[in-house]
Amino acid sequence: MTDDLSHSLRSDARDNRARVLEAARALFSADGLDVPMREIARRAGVGPATLYRRFPTKQALVAEAFADQLNACRAIVDEACAEPDPWRGLCQVIERICELHAQDRGFTEAFLSSFPDTVDVAAGREYTVGAVAALARRAKETGRLRSDFVLDDLILVLMANKGIRAASAATQVMASRRFAALAIQALEARPRQESLPPAARLASAEPRGTSR
């Protein structure tokens, strides 16, 4: 009976942890990192004490909630750095990270600026920034990346991408892809007029009284 009770308690603890992480990801993605911990507990159907027992700080919750995204981000950068053409690799980084961030507002905030003392997030950001800096240097050497590019320009691209708002997740990703293509053309030393991805319909961009 003691073994059965112990197993039941462990199972309940796992279920509570999974519900907390699921709720945190959903709320962070929709509303950013300012969501109160009590709201996360309420969405997960657990008490605040249970939440804080599993995750004593929001920093700890953020790191765990975005572990998969951090791994995906690292994989994107590693694949891009292995690309023989560094310009093509840099374009892949911009396209894929913009899309990843468009799917999750909370991850963008964590990656760019929030909770800098969260070890996992900070380490992931440091690795990504260092790898992309090396990739950019190689792209400059080929003459494809404009010579006055600095890494802060990529941060600007990600910050601007973060501001994209659309009625649906699919439309938001669509808009992000077009924005990434525009950014890439702006960063190329000798821009070529390549076709852009399809435009996303953003209600805020529609003048009143007009329609497509």
Of 43, 64, 85, the last residue of a domain is 64
Is 101 a domain residue?
yes
State the Cα torsion 190-180-92-28 to the nearest 10°: 160
The pairs formed by 30-34 with CB atoms below 8 angstroms and a separation of 24 or more are 30/105, 31/105, 31/106, 32/105, 32/106, 32/109, 33/58, 33/62, 33/106, 33/109, 33/110, 33/114, 33/115
**Residue, of 209 and 169, whose pLDDT is higher:** 169
Name the DSSP class of 145. Answer: B
Do 48 and 73 share a structural domain?
no
Do 136 and 34 share a structural domain?
no
Averaged pLDDT for residues 113-128: 68
- Give the model's pLDDT for residue 107: 78
**Residue, of 167 and 139, whose pLDDT is higher:** 139
Provide the number of structural domains found in the chain: 2
- Give the model's pLDDT for residue 208: 46
Closest CA to 86 of 148, 133, 125, 150: 133
Q: How confident is the model at residue 115 (pLDDT cuts 50, 70, 90)?
A: low
Do 141 and 92 share a structural domain?
yes
Tell me the residue range of the domain where 54 lies.
9-64
Exposure string for 133-142, b = 16+ CB within 10 A, e = fewer: eebbebbbee
- Give the model's pLDDT for residue 162: 85
**Phi/psi at 16 (nearest 5 deg)?**
-60, -45
Do 84 and 25 share a structural domain?
no
Do 117 and 106 share a structural domain?
yes
Do 94 and 19 share a structural domain?
no
**Residue, of 111 and 67, whose pLDDT is higher:** 67
Of 25, 41, 64, the last residue of a domain is 64
Do 55 and 120 share a structural domain?
no
Least confident of 6-15, 25-34, 88-97, 188-197: 6-15
